[in-house]
Amino acid sequence: MGSFIGIDLGTTFSALARIDETGRPVIVHNSDGQNLMPSCVEVENSETVHVGSEARQAFGLGSENAAGRFKRKMGTSEVYKLAGQRFTPTDLSALVLQKLVNDACLTIGDIEEVVVTIPANFANDAREATLQAARKAGLNIKYIINEPTAAALGYLDRENLNLQGIYAVYDLGGGTFDISIIRVEKHEVEVLCSSGVHDLGGMDFDKKLREIVARKYKEIATDELEPEDYTNLEAEGDKKSLSDRNKITTRVNRTAIDITRQEFEEAISSLVTQAELLCESTIEEAGLKVSNIREVLCAGGSTRVPIVRESIKRMFGRDPICSVNVDEVVALGAALYAAYKGNRSKLSDAQKERIDRLNVSECANKYYGTIALERDMSGQPKAMNSILIEKNSKIPCSVTKSYFTGYENQTAVACSVTECSDNETDPRFVTIRANAELDLPPGRPAGQEIEVTFSYDANQIMRCSFVDVETQEERKLELRLATLEDSVETDINKFTVE
Amino acid sequence: MEDLFGIVLFFIVIWIISRLANSSSQPVQPGIPLHFEVNLQDTRRETNDHSFVVKEVLAIGLLPVVKAINLGIYISVLDGNRPVLCHIEAFQEPESSAYQVRTEIGVVGPNQGFAEWSPVAGIIPEILHPPYSGLRQFKMVIRLVDSSNPPPIMLGFVKTPEHSGLIWEKTITFTHNFTEKGYLEIAEDRKTAVTLFLKMAMAVAMSDGNLHKQEGFAIQKSVLRLLTSYSGEEKQTMKKLCNQALKEGYIESRQGTLNLESLARSLNGIGNQQFKYEALQFCTDVMTADGVADPSELALLHRIGDLLGLGMQQIKGIIDRGLVKPGIEISGAANPDEVLGIDPSWNGERIKKHFLAEFRKWNGRLNTLPEGCERDNAQRMLNLIAEARKKHE
């Protein structure tokens, strides 16, 4: 019987968890005996690729053949040239996933089903790129899950916490920040609202620390700080030290530089404020007040930074709960989700008992709509984004709206499906997810009703239909928003680690 | 026309020119009245809660063709000798915005026609844009043409009346009352408006005390763009007008006598909402021309928007589009409030709400915009909002 596993594909570190014989999620060590594996890749030559700790060292030292933190570039056209070969962020993520899974297979044998986590705020391109990376790694993946939802499941599994009520899941990782407001009822988790900031995480804190070091180095050594003078790893290490100490001394080319926690906190305060704004905005979106939030559940290594914890305490009026390892909780929850969504006939009785009692309901992460013509501010007809499914609608859901043709003898309408993170009317700021055309019979007056229905099912598949009411002609569109049911050939082999 | 659009919310369409009634495209049996004639009939159409008049063109009799041709009915509308225009591209002449509706009948031969009065085409007066407002008498020019060899029609007139593709022509008059200003009236208003918003743009450019080269070029570019819609003597007049406005604006700005309130009052007095948007858009273009969105310039833009009576959402909409343009650097961390359009008179609660709304908006856009300058600017806006928020804590 294969294992159900969850993978937290992180910006700086990744982790893999499985469901044990009792149905509990546990972290699986990698081949280095570590719970966390650095999300770094080093290409030595056309045949040798290193993934993990060794690659991290090379990346930290600024090797041009090493890459890290590519999660932020998922879904973009970024290309990394390593040892003369070109890699997309998807290629590199596939290598990380493959290494994690290969290591895990040595310990746990076959793998049944896999769930990979993504930030709640990942745009569709990034979601698809993640699914593609998993396919490239040869994984049997059908679902992805939002990181804060996975973290919520990870906490839910800890019975000593006895979760009941409304909680905020505060997930500040290496590269992204997410918050979800969830309602927990026994073993049921209902996501009420999720939001995220794409570029807010530990690596931004590192960057700020680097700026402090660069400024001081220039003052003391009257020289510019070069990347190799103070590496990413050094910045990361100093940041962690500043979580424990009020002052540290770092050495740059034999120059001693003192950095206080206060200086560091001042430098990152604007980033922390962004996190606060997102929290307030999300709570407001959920139609709640801070006082409705029972506890704050932490996930992600950057929640260890003292100013972050202070910010949470200030905002929510209580210390956050960090009783599950914040670096691992997302992977643990993802493993539970893999079993929950997977083929339960393959679970043992003990596993089944724990998984069957779970119930997870998600909400729409974005607004979905269509492009329609409306009068703009000056009275001119103008293309506008018309929302059908509101963000945070509980899924499954279905919405039908009527639109009307504008002119006599209109013989077609363009059927588009749009996606956006805010209630956006400007088509320039929405992503067109699908486009089609519905032919209409000629010779009819204006004002013909076109009925548009968007149905978002529990498997995060959106079915859209555009129906000409008079003739019942229909145009159907289907979007797979967070699932993948078909598989394609993998080309990962060219990057196989020997 | 206002109401007509008000009730219809419709998709981006592929406009296909109206073939009003199916019966018209079915050529007819031989027989019936020898003389081909057309007439007009008002028909009221309903779309949900809105009703409007369609002037249907009815035809009867044998088609005046001597051989099989691909027949089309082309309709133009004139107000005296001036063309009547239309804003909808599908109802425009191929090379101008003059109203024209083209109905393709199909291949017909001699001895074919309409046995009884049949609708063959139609126009909706509400979508016409005449030169003047009020009760107007129009000439509807109905032409039967060979669609395979159509005569060139420009501004409602056939360029070469002897063209072999022109089969038949008839003019029918009708009247319609237009409450909105005609295009010649708007053109006259526009001259005044242009001078006003050029001065406003100059005020924005000079808000930091200098007219930067890029800002000057941006104004010049905008003027050149404006002039492309004029020709001949009118173009020369416009050119003079613009140059004069620019000079006056520059001098008055330097002297500190440029009175924005008075300029805005004059523009508001014209009563054309479109001009107000153009004015603010023009000013935003100038502001972003040097690649820097200076806080004092942003504050001035907000002020201009206020003076023009535009709502905060509308003002922000125009300015935001300027701010995400590639290459724009949002400067002035010294006063992010101005960039974010925070009114000093607002109370803490309102400011807090504004921050949250702005944060949601820019964070959402950050996820939609592709990598590059525009996305970087969205990120910068997030940083700016956080800075402003810290200041207000």
**Would the pLDDT of A14 be above 60?**
yes
Q: Is-cis flag, bond preceding B33, omega within 30?
A: no
Res A490 pLDDT > 80? no
8-state DSSP, B98: B
Cα separation, B208 vs B288, in Å, equals 13
CA distance B167 to B161: 10
Under the phi-then-psi rule, with left for phi > 0, alpha for psi from -120 to 50, and beta for the rest, what region is A89?
alpha
For residue B12, pLDDT beyond 50: no
Q: What pLDDT score was predicted for residue A408? A: 81
pLDDT band at A226 (very low <50, low <70, confident <90, very high): confident
Q: Identify the residue with better confidence: A475 or A201.
A: A201
pLDDT of residue B4: 39
> Which of A134, A209, A212, A199 lies closest to A173 in space, CA to CA?
A199
In angstroms, how far is CA A331 from the centroid of its own chain?
A: 12
Q: Is the pLDDT of residue B259 over 50?
A: yes
d(CA A104, CA A109): 7
Name the residue with tokens 């990152």: A268
A3-200+270-363 maps to CATH 3.20.20.220: no
What does residue A85 show for φ and ψ, rounded to 5 degrees? -110, 150
What Cα–Cα distance (Å) separates residue A464 from each residue in A384, A406, B13? Answer: 18, 22, 18
What totals of helices (H) and strands (E) does chain B contain, helices first?
Answer: 11, 15
Question: What integer is the mean pLDDT of A133-152?
Answer: 89
Nearest CA in chain A to B366: A198
Question: Taking 60 as the threshold, does the pLDDT of residue A66 lie above it?
Answer: yes
Which of the given ranges, B181-195, B224-238, B367-381, has the highest pLDDT on average?
A: B181-195
Contact B369 A274 (CB under 8 A): no
For A50-73, give the DSSP string: EESHHHHHHHHTT-TTEEE-GGGG
The 3 state secondary structure assigned to A165-194 is EEEEEEEECCCCEEEEEEEEECCEEEEEEE
Residues of A in contact with B46 (CB under 8 A): 447
pLDDT tens track for A355-389: 999 999 988 888 899 998 876 555 566 788 999 99
In the chain, the amino acid numbered B224 is: L
Q: At the fourth CATH level, which superfamily is domain A367-480? A: Substrate Binding Domain Of DNAk; Chain A, domain 1 (2.60.34.10)
Share the mean pLDDT of chain B.
79
Q: Which residue from A minimizes the CA distance to B123? A: A408
**What integer is the mean pLDDT of B280-288?**
81
**With 90 as the cut, is the pLDDT of residue A51 above it?**
yes
Q: What is the pLDDT of residue A32?
A: 86
CB atoms closer than 10 angstroms to residue B349: 8
Q: Is the pLDDT of residue A115 over 70?
A: yes
pLDDT band at A126 (very low <50, low <70, confident <90, very high): confident
pLDDT at B224: 79
**Partner-chain contact A270 B383, CB within 8 Å:** yes
**What are the tens digits of pLDDT across the range A304-334?**
999 999 999 999 999 999 888 999 999 999 9
Inform me whether the pLDDT recorded for A485 exceeds 60. no
Chain B CB contacts of A415 under 8 Å are 11
Say yes or no to pLDDT of B49 above 70: no
Among A82-91, A176-185, A427-436, B114-123, where is mean pLDDT lowest? Answer: A427-436
Cα separation of B84 and B123, whole Å?
12
Q: Which long-range contacts (CB under 8 A, 24 or more apart) does B352-358 make?
A: B352/B392, B355/A277, B355/B385, B355/B388, B355/B389, B355/B392, B356/A277, B356/A280, B356/A281, B356/A284, B358/B385
Closest residue in A to B275 (Cα–Cα)? A378
Which residue from B14, B45, B386 is facing A270, i.e. has the nearest CB? Answer: B386
pLDDT at A460 (0 to 100)? 67
pLDDT-above-90 percentage for chain A: 58
Report how far Cα A128 is from the mean position of its chain's Cα atoms: 11
Nearest chain B residue (CA) to A372: B11
ipTM rounded to 2 decimals? 0.77
Total Cβ atoms within 10 A of residue A418: 24
Q: Is the pTM of this model over 0.90?
A: no
Mutate to test the interface with A, among B46, B367, B384, B390 (most CBs of A within 10 A): B367
Do B390 and A429 make contact, defined as CB atoms within 8 angstroms? no
The verdict on a CB contact (< 8 Å) between A271 and B2 is no
| Residue whose pair of structure tokens reads 């525009």 in the numeric block | B374
Shortest Cα distance, chain A CAs vs residue B248, angstroms: 29
- Domains of chain A, by residue range, sit at 3-200+270-363, 202-268, 367-480
Q: Which residues contact A301 (CB under 8 A, 6 or more apart)?
A: A12, A13, A173, A174, A202, A326, A327
pLDDT for res B138: 94
Of B69, B141, B62, B67, the closest CA to residue B101 belongs to B141
Average of pLDDT values for B244-262?
82
pLDDT of residue B273: 85
Interface test with A, best of B10, B56, B91, B318 (most A CBs within 10 A): B10
DSSP 3-state of A7: strand
pLDDT at position A481 is 59
> Closest chain B residue to A274 measured between Cα atoms?
B386
Residue A16 phi, psi (nearest 5) = -130, 135
Check if CATH label 3.90.640.10 holds for domain A202-268.
Answer: yes
Higher pLDDT, B324 or A461: A461
* Separation in Å, CA of A151 to nearest CA in chain B: 23
Q: At residue A492, does pLDDT exceed 50?
A: no
pLDDT at B20: 30
- Do A413 and B11 lie within an 8 Å CB cutoff? yes
Q: Taking 60 as the threshold, does the pLDDT of residue B1 lie above it?
A: no
The mean-pLDDT minimum among A326-330, B194-198, B219-223 falls in B219-223
